[in-house]
Amino acid sequence: MQQDIHATAHIRTRPGHRDAFLQIMKTLIPLGRAMEGNRNYALLQDLGDPNSFVVTAQWASAADIHNHEKTPAFAGLVRLFSSGACKVHPLRTKKIL
C-alpha cells in the first residue's frame, strides 16, 4: 500500500513581500485542493510573527505533488522564492507512526 506524501514548508517573507506571497497563496491553495490526489492543503501563520508561515499539504502520491509543482501558480511561488523575497525550508515526509 502506497503511503501519502506529506509536504511541509516553513516560509519567512522579507519586509515588503508579505502581500505578494499571500496573493500567490490565495490562488495556489484552492487550485491545489482541487487537484487529483490532494488530501489536504493549508497555509498557517505564526501568531507572533506576521511574516512567518507554514504550508502543509498531503498528497496521495509523489506523482500528484509533482503535477501540482508543474502548475503556473506554483511557478509564481518559485519565482518569488528565487527573487529572495521569501526564504523557504521545505520538508517531505511520510507518516511512520
Q: What is the pLDDT of residues 9-49, one digit of tens each?
A: 999 999 899 999 999 999 999 999 999 999 999 999 999 99
User: Looking at domain 5-93, which of 3.40.50.2000, 3.30.70.100, 3.40.50.1360, 3.50.30.60 is its CATH number?
Assistant: 3.30.70.100
Q: What is the pLDDT of residues 67-86, one digit of tens each?
A: 999 999 999 998 988 899 98
- With cell 497563496, the residue in question is 25
Q: 54 CB contacts (<8 Å, ≥6 apart)?
A: 8, 9, 10, 11, 43, 44, 46
The answer to whether 94 and 5 have CB atoms below 8 angstroms apart is yes
- Compute the 3-state secondary structure of the chain and give helix, strand, coil in percent, each to the nearest 5: 35, 35, 30
* pLDDT higher than 90, residue 91: no
Predicted TM-score of the model (pTM) = 0.85
3-state DSSP assignment of residue 27: helix
* pLDDT higher than 90, residue 92: no
Q: How far, rounded to the nearest angstrom, does the alpha carbon of residue 56 sit from its chain's CA centroid?
A: 6
